[in-house]
C-alpha cells in the first residue's frame, strides 16, 4: 500500500491543551504529580473533555474537507502531545465523541513533540504550553501559544474567520526593531523609504498561503455552484497605518498571498475591533495586544522576534 502523503495538504499540529480544556486534569498534575495524574485520567477515561480555546477553529477548518475529493482531504489535524499513549486515550476518545475527523497522533511521554513538525509537513502547531511553543519558534518552526478561556461556539454559523497581525507574524520583525529603536517617526520614515521593498516572510506566511489555497478551492466551487456560500474569510489586523500600510500590502502581493479585509489601526485597541470582527482565531506576536483580544477572542501568541527573546520557563502541564 502506498504511503499516505501530506505534501499537498494543510497540516495542523494541535496539542491536547489547545484542543480541549485541561484545567482540571493539569491541576492534578501540578498539585499531586504524574502518578496521580495518570490515575485521574484512567478514572475519567470515558468522561468527554470540554472544548478548549482552539476547538472551534479546528472543527471549522476540518469541516472544509467537504470540498475535498474522497479520501483526499485538504486539511489534516494531528495531535502532538506530551502525554504517553495510555493517558492520551482520553483525548482520542473525546475526539471521537465530538466526531472530529482526527485519527493521527504523536504521544511523547513528558517530551515536546514539536520536532516532528517538518516530518509531518505542518504549517502550524498550537499549544497551551508556552515553553514548547517558544522552543519551536526558536527553531524556526511556525507555532503559537493559545490564550484566553474556552468559549461557546455558535454551531449555526459555519464560517471560519481567521485574523493575523502583520509584523512578527506574517512578516519578520525587522520593522518592529526599527520602531523599538527609532520610535514611531523613525519607523514611518523607514517604511516609506522601503515601501517598494518586500518584507522577508515571517513564521505564518506559509500557513496563510495554505489557507489561500483552500479559498481558491472555495471559489472554484462557487463558480460551479451558484448556491455555494463562501465560508473562509481572512483579515489583517495591524497597528500600522498610513503611510506604513503600503509596504505591508506590497509585501503580501509579492509573496503571492491575499487577505479579504485589512484593518490599519494606528494604535487603536485591537480588542474592540475583535468584538465586532469575531474571528475564530487571531495571531499576534505581542502579548500586550493579546491581553485585550484574549478576553473575547481565541487568541494566539506567536513568540517570534527580538521582543519575545526573553527566556520562558517550561510549563508544568501535560499537553
Q: What is the CATH number of the domain that holds 242?
A: 3.40.50
DSSP structure class, residue 161: E
Do 66 and 121 fall into the same domain?
yes
Residue 99 backbone zone (phi > 0: left; psi -120 to 50: alpha; other: beta): left
Domain CATH code at residue 45 = 3.40.50.1000
CA 25/CA 38 separation, integer angstroms: 9
Q: Are 171 and 202 in contact (CB under 8 A)?
A: yes
What confidence tens digit (pLDDT) does each residue in 199-240 have?
999 999 999 999 999 999 999 999 999 999 999 999 999 998
200 in active site: no
Do 128 and 164 fall into the same domain?
no
Output the pLDDT for position 317.
59
Do 49 and 129 fall into the same domain?
yes
Q: Are 160 and 233 in contact (CB under 8 A)?
A: yes
Confidence of residue 32 (pLDDT cuts 50, 70, 90): confident
Record the pTM.
0.94
Output the pLDDT for position 1.
67
262 against 313, higher pLDDT: 262
Helices (H), 1-74: 16-19, 23-32, 34-43, 55-63
Helices (H), the chain: 16-19, 23-32, 34-43, 55-63, 89-97, 130-138, 174-193, 205-224, 245-255, 270-277, 287-293
Q: Domain of 121? A: 10-147
What confidence tens digit (pLDDT) does each residue in 155-176 have?
788 899 999 999 999 999 888 8
Looking at the structure of the chain, the number of domains it has is 2
What confidence tens digit (pLDDT) does each residue in 241-297 have?
888 899 999 999 999 999 999 999 998 999 999 999 999 999 999 998 999 999 999
Could you give the 3-state DSSP secondary structure of residue 284? strand
Output the pLDDT for position 180.
78
Residue of 26, 132, 165, 284 marked active site: 165
Do 173 and 123 fall into the same domain?
no
Domain boundary among 112, 147, 182: 147
Output the pLDDT for position 258.
97
Roughly how many angstroms between the first and final C-alpha of the chain, as a whole number?
33
Output the pLDDT for position 247.
92
CA 269/CA 274 separation, integer angstroms: 9
Amino acid at each position: 500500500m502506498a504511503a499516505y502523503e501530506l505534501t499537498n495538504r494543510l497540516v495542523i499540529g494541535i496539542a491536547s491543551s489547545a484542543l480541549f480544556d485541561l484545567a482540571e486534569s493539569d491541576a492534578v498534575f501540578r498539585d499531586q504529580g504524574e502518578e496521580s495524574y495518570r490515575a485521574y485520567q484512567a478514572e475519567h477515561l470515558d468522561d468527554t473533555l470540554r472544548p478548549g480555546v482552539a476547538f472551534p477553529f479546528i472543527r471549522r477548518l476540518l469541516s472544509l474537507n467537504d470540498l475535498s475529493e474522497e479520501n483526499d482531504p485538504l486539511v489534516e489535524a494531528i495531535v502532538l502531545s506530551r502525554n504517553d499513549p495510555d493517558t492520551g486515550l482520553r483525548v482520542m476518545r473525546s475526539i471521537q465523541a465530538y466526531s472530529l475527523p482526527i485519527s493521527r497522533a504523536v504521544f511523547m511521554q513528558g517530551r515536546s513533540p514539536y520536532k516532528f513538525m517538518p516530518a509531518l509537513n505542518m504549517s502550524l502547531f498550537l499549544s497551551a504550553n508556552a515553553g514548547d511553543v517558544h522552543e519551536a519558534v526558536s527553531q524556526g518552526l511556525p507555532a503559537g501559544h493559545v490564550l484566553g478561556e474556552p468559549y461557546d461556539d455558535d454551531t449555526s454559523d459555519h464560517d471560519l474567520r481567521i485574523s493575523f497581525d502583520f509584523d512578527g507574524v506574517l512578516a519578520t520583525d525587522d520593522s518592529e526593531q526599527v520602531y523599538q529603536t527609532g520610535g514611531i517617526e523613525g519607523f514611518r520614515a523607514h517604511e516609506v523609504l522601503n515601501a517598494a521593498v518586500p518584507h522577508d516572510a515571517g513564521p505564518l506566511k506559509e500557513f496563510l498561503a495554505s489557507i489561500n489555497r483552500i479559498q481558491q478551492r472555495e471559489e472554484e466551487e462557487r463558480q460551479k455552484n451558484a448556491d455555494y456560500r463562501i465560508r473562509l474569510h481572512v483579515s489583517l489586523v495591524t497597528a500600522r497605518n498610513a503611510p506604513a500600510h503600503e509596504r505591508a500590502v506590497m509585501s503580501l502581493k509579492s509573496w503571492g498571498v491575499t487577505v479579504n479585509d485589512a484593518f490599519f489601526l494606528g494604535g487603536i485597541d485591537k480588542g474592540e475591533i475583535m468584538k465586532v470582527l469575531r474571528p475564530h482565531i487571531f495571531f499576534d506576536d505581542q502579548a500586550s495586544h493579546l491581553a485585550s483580544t484574549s478576553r473575547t477572542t481565541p487568541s494566539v501568541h506567536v513568540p517570534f522576534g527580538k521582543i519575545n527573546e526573553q527566556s520562558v520557563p517550561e510549563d508544568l502541564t501535560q499537553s
